[in-house]
Structure 1
């Protein structure tokens, strides 16, 4: 079941629809000099076209390590994938070579990171960074990629995209940098988008704009979205299903409405109880 965000009513997707992305029994260790951290332990989930799956939990619960594992972006060493499968189009991403995986990153599966200021190249104009994705994956000419990048900047609601195209990341506000990150992720028309805390450093007004933008673009392109967040209010408004993580493990999973209305795990209940609420006077 998914939620139609236009009407806020549940809708049923075909039960035989194959997941775009399927993570099964994933385990990830970080082997340090004096210890081993079991960051992800036997984690399983899937996401389908047009659906938003939220990974939630406290800082350190394993959300980001899980998300980065999908595209094998955790640094290795010290990261070691010790078990499980990550299936996309029937292929296990953990078994692909780096060259094969590079064809998937940014084209079929894209990621929006927490802090665009550390992810965007400070020495390269933002438009060129968006265009680079197209040149890498499609072989477009420089002129063709530039036009497509301008269209992508406009699609994500960046005002005066011709001006912004020529600017450097430090010349943009936090909200505009995040929109550039989204444009970079979506310009290749990925089938799955992983959004890792995409609104953490933004004020509440810009947060709302970015989340609305992601929902709109998801519906436009029928993407599957994996949303990593600690904000349960965001999950309630944007996600269809939720996976609750604690200490690297899945403690609860299910439809958002079911999990929030009748949480089965004590940790989930604690998270929900800690969510700020406006009480009437």
Structure 2
């Protein structure tokens, strides 16, 4: 008797032929041009490319956070568990964001509210979705701060963003992104503003948390060294298009596109960690 092989798991996030334009006063910017990618539970997909390649426009499209206008989605689908984010109403989107799909933004100092204590900002994610009362949200926020390695979470809970180091602010952002246990985490250049030692700590933390919770992770970065150390698969973007994709080993060992080869030529430490 033969056993049928298991079918591969369905993508949690599946972007199909996405087109994103920004219609400005004097011109139209075609930020994303026919992009397709997918990521499954427990997998890290990295999207790489230089500034202006369409990486962040893609990340924001996954949560429909690009400002409309000037952003116009002119084609394609963004399927989250089979439901197209681009056709959902604002009320449905508010229910999805932070709960089913969440995002760590590039700069925690500008993403965190300087007038609100950091613990309250983490707890507010749960209060927004109506899943926790005030006391429950506070307890969950404290647990999230502790899980991301923030020492003395009770004291940190009461502090304001400016009282924390850059590394601690980034950990607060991670806690806020994960407190509701989303199925998809988008990390948009999560270590850009940090020094090398803190970058290493944050990347290690993300790898640990993904393994613990089985999330699908979409990592947006320009740093192929980060990709080598953290990702399973990679999509290389250039001028809004995917010019190459595959496993990290395939793309690094046998790049086929000239742009990918240029990126690899100027990036140190490119051997993916086994």
Q: 2:135 aligns with which of 143, 168, 182?
A: 143
Question: 1:230 aligns to what?
Answer: 222
Question: 1:37 aligns to what?
Answer: 29
Supply the distance in 2 between the matched residues of 1:225 and 1:260 (Cα, whole angstroms).
20
Q: 1:106 aligns with which of 95, 98, 107?
A: 98
Are residue 204 (structure 1) and residue 196 (structure 2) matched?
Answer: yes
Q: What does the per-residue CA deviation read over 1:122-174, in whole Å, with 9 as the maximum and x for residues that have no partner?
A: 00000000000111124311111101100000000000100100000000000
Q: 1:260 aligns with which of 240, 252, 255?
A: 252
Question: 1:247 aligns to what?
Answer: 239
Supply the distance in 1 between the matched residues of 2:42 and 2:173 (Cα, whole angstroms).
20
Are residue 124 (structure 1) and residue 130 (structure 2) matched?
Answer: no
Q: Is the 8 A contact 2:225 2:269 kept in 1?
A: no
Supply the distance in 2 between the matched residues of 1:39 and 1:15 (Cα, whole angstroms).
34
Question: 1:9 aligns to what?
Answer: none
Listed as ranges, the gaps of 5+ residues in structure 2 are: none
Structure 1 consecutive aligned stretches of length 4 or more whose deviation exceeds 4 Å = none
Question: 1:7 aligns to what?
Answer: none
SS at 2:154's partner residue? helix
Listed as ranges, the gaps of 5+ residues in structure 1 are: 1-12
Q: Do the aligned partners of residues 204 and 28 (structure 1) sit closer, same or farther apart at CA in structure 2, a change above 3 Å counting?
A: same
Aligned Cα RMSD in Å? 1.2
Supply the distance in 2 between the matched residues of 1:230 and 1:260 (Cα, whole angstroms).
14
Q: What does the per-residue CA deviation read over 1:76-127, in whole Å, with 9 as the maximum and x for residues that have no partner?
A: 1100000000111211110000100110000000000000001100000000
TM-score of the aligned structures, taking structure 2 as reference length? 0.95
Q: What does the per-residue CA deviation read over 1:183-208, in whole Å, with 9 as the maximum and x for residues that have no partner?
A: 00000000000000000000000000
Supply the distance in 2 between the matched residues of 1:94 and 1:193 (Cα, whole angstroms).
18
SS at 2:78's partner residue? strand
Supply the distance in 1 between the matched residues of 2:233 and 2:87 (Cα, whole angstroms).
28
How many pairs were matched up?
Answer: 266
Supply the distance in 2 between the matched residues of 1:109 and 1:77 (Cα, whole angstroms).
23
Pairwise CA distance, 1:14: 5.5
